[in-house]
Amino acid sequence: MNKKFQYKVISKGGSPTEPILKEQDWVIQKIGGTVEFTLNDIKKDIESMKKIKIEMEAKSKIEAAMMENVATHYPDVPKLDEKIRVAVFLYQKSWATKKMCDERVSDTDKSIANYTEELQEILKQTHLSLEEKTTEQKVEEIVNAPVVPKENGKDR
């Protein structure tokens, strides 16, 4: 990961009516970036969605024209037994979907690697753990924690 972020625990849960959450459920704030937007940005997004709608309506008409074109140039296609047309369609759809899935698997592997790297940095900076600890383990950590000597009667 190129950009350095800082991480800070902002909520451990817990209140008079709720127990303190497990470390895995604590809310962590990621510091080092913000999202800013304007009302004009929202207006632009709405306009963009309207444009997409128009494009999809046009694409629908194009697909209808393509069907007509195939029927004109390959008059046997519409005459094919429906089972054959369905089989060809399913094969082509599966082929395209498989290709897309294979690409997504590769992208997902990269995302998992990035998240794993970020998780390690979060754990390093916040000193949190994904391991559940028993009360005995927590007490043992406190008891065995190194003692920091005081300097001139003051905590370091």
Entry pTM: 0.42
The distance of Cα 152 from the centroid of its chain, to the nearest Å, equals 51
Q: Which amino acid is at 122?
A: I
Report the pLDDT value the prediction gives residue 2, as an integer from 0 to 100: 55
Report the pLDDT value the prediction gives residue 35, as an integer from 0 to 100: 63
How far is Cα 16 from Cα 1, in angstroms, rounded to an integer? 40
User: Which of 28, 22, 25, 24 lies closest to 8 in space, CA to CA?
Assistant: 28
Greatest CA separation for the chain? 97
Q: Which amino acid is at 137?
A: Q
How far is Cα 26 from Cα 31, in angstroms, rounded to an integer? 16
> Do 28 and 124 contact (CB within 8 A), yes or no?
no
Report the pLDDT value the prediction gives residue 153, as an integer from 0 to 100: 60
Report the pLDDT value the prediction gives residue 155, as an integer from 0 to 100: 56
User: Which of 61, 10, 55 lies closest to 31 in space, CA to CA?
Assistant: 10
Q: From first to last of the 156 residues of the chain, give the pLDDT tens digit.
A: 456 888 888 887 766 677 777 777 888 888 887 667 688 888 999 999 999 999 999 999 999 999 999 999 999 998 999 999 999 999 999 999 999 999 999 999 999 999 999 999 998 888 888 887 788 887 888 888 887 777 766 655
Structure token digits, residue 22: 């497990």
Stated as kind and residue range, the H or E segment containing 7 is: strand 6-11
What residue spans define the domains of the chain?
A: 81-123
Structure token digits, residue 84: 């054959």
